[in-house]
Chain A
Amino acid sequence: MAEEISLSILSGKGGTGKTTLAVNLALALENVQLLDADVEEPNDYLFISPEIESKETESVMRLIPEVNDDKCTACRKCVDFCEYNALAMMLDNVLVFEEVCHSCGGCKIVCPEDAITEKEKELGKLRHDSLSNLDFWQGELNTKEEKAVPVIEKLKTKIDRDKKVIIDSPPGTTCPTIEAITDTDFTIVVTEPSPFGLHDLKMVIEMLNEIEQPFAVVINRAEADSDYLIEDYCQEEGIKIILKIPFSRKIAELYSEGIPFVDKLEGWDEKLQQLYQEIREEALKQ
Chain B
Amino acid sequence: MKEITVISGKGGTGKTTFTANLASLLDNLVVGDCDVDAPNLHLLLNPENKSEAVFKGMKLAVKNDDLCIDCGLCYENCRFNAITAADYQIKNLKCEGCAVCAYVCPTDAIKMEETETGTLYEAESRFGEMVHAKLIPGADTSGKLVSEVKNRASELAKEKNKDWILIDGSPGIGCPVIASLTGSDLAVLVTEPTMSGFADLKRVMEVVNHFKIPAGIVINKYDLNENISAKIEAYAAEEKIELLTKIPYSRVIVDSLKKGELFVDNDAELRTKMLTVKEKLTKILEK
Bound complex: CA of A244 vs CA of B222, how far in Å? 26
Which residues of A are found within 8 Å of B12, using beta-carbon distances?
13-16
Min CB–CB distance B100 → chain A (angstroms): 5
| Inter-subunit contact B257/A171 (CB<8 Å) | no
Q: How far is the CB of A70 from chain B (nearest CB, A)?
A: 25
Q: Which residues of A lie under 8 Å from residue B33 when comparing CB positions?
A: none
Kindly supply a per-residue 1/0 record for chain A positions 103-141, scoring 1 wherever the CB is within 8 Å of any chain B CB and 0 otherwise. Answer: 111100110000000000000000000000000000001
Residues of A near B172 (CB, < 8 A) are 14, 40-41, 170
Complex CA–CA separation, A170 to B93 (angstroms): 16
A257 contacts B171, CB within 8 Å? no
Asked if B225 contacts A253 (CB within 8 A), the reply is: yes
Task: Please measure, in the bound complex, the distance between the C-alpha atom of A153 and the C-alpha atom of B258, giving whole angstroms.
Answer: 37
Near B by CB (< 8 A), chain A positions 254-276 give 255-258
Do the beta carbons of B258 and A141 come within 8 Å of each other?
A: no
The total of chain A residues at the interface (CB under 8 A) is 59
B 44-79 to A, binary, CB cutoff 8 A, 1 in contact else 0: 000000000000000100000000000000000101
* Interface presence of A61 (CB below 8 A): no
- By a CB distance below 8 angstroms, the chain B residues around A196 are 16, 40, 43, 257
> Are B195's CB and A174's CB within 8 A?
no
CB neighbours (8 Å) of B16 from chain A are 196
Chain A CB within 8 A of B200 CB? yes
Q: How far is the CA of A14 from the CA of B169 in the complex (A)?
A: 13
B124 at the interface (CB under 8 A from A): no
Are the C-beta atoms of B77 and A173 separated by less than 8 Å?
A: no
Provide the residues of chain A in CB contact with B142, threshold 8 Å. 174
Question: Given that A12-B38, A172-B38, A174-B138 are known contacts, is A256 also in contact with B194, CB under 8 Å in the complex?
Answer: yes
* Pick from A15, A84, A153, A173: contact of B11, CB under 8 Å: A15
Closest to A41 in B: B200
Does B175 lie at the interface of the complex (its beta carbon under 8 Å from any beta carbon of A)? yes
> Does any Cβ of B come within 8 Å of A74's Cβ?
no
What is the bound-complex CA distance between A199 and B44, given in angstroms?
A: 12
Please tell me if B174 contacts chain A, counting CB pairs below 8 Å. Answer: yes
Bound CA–CA A195/B193 (angstroms) = 24
A24 contacts partner chain B, Cβ-Cβ < 8 Å: no
Contact of A41 among B40, B97, B203 (CB under 8 A): B203
Residue among A43, A146, A249 making CB contact with B199, cutoff 8 Å:
A43
The answer, yes or no, to whether B99 is at the interface (CB within 8 Å) is: yes
B137 adjacent to A256 (CB under 8 Å): no
Q: Which residues of B contact A81 (CB under 8 A)?
A: 99, 103
Mark each residue of chain A from 1 to 32: 1 if its CB lies under 8 Å from any CB of chain B, else 0. Answer: 00000000000111110010000000000000
Check A15–B81 contact: CB distance below 8 A: no
A195 to B172 Cα, complex, angstroms: 22
Using known A-B contacts A14-B171, A15-B10, determine if residue A252 contacts B258 with beta carbons closer than 8 Å: no
Q: Per a CB cutoff under 8 Å, which of B94, B135, B203, B210 touches A174? A: B135
Q: Are A143 and B173 in contact (CB under 8 A)?
A: yes
Does A207 touch B at the CB level, under 8 Å? yes
Q: How far is the CB of A173 from chain B (nearest CB, A)?
A: 4
Given contacts A41-B203, A207-B137, A256-B194, contact A102 B96 (CB under 8 A): yes
Q: Is A178 an interface residue (CB 8 A)?
A: yes
Docked pose: A174 CA to B35 CA in angstroms: 12
Given contacts A46-B199, A109-B104, contact A174 B139 (CB under 8 A): yes
A141 touches B195 (CB 8 A): no
Distance between Cα atoms of A229 and B43 in the complex (Å): 14
- Please give, as numbers and ranges, the residues of chain A lying within 8 Å of B178 by CB-CB distance: 144, 146
21 A-B pairs with CB atoms under 8 Å apart are A12-B38, A14-B38, A14-B171, A19-B196, A41-B196, A41-B200, A43-B200, A84-B98, A102-B96, A105-B77, A109-B103, A109-B104, A144-B178, A144-B210, A147-B174, A149-B80, A174-B135, A195-B257, A199-B38, A258-B195, A258-B196
Top 4 A-B pairs, shortest CB-CB distance: A15-B12, A14-B11, A104-B98, A207-B137
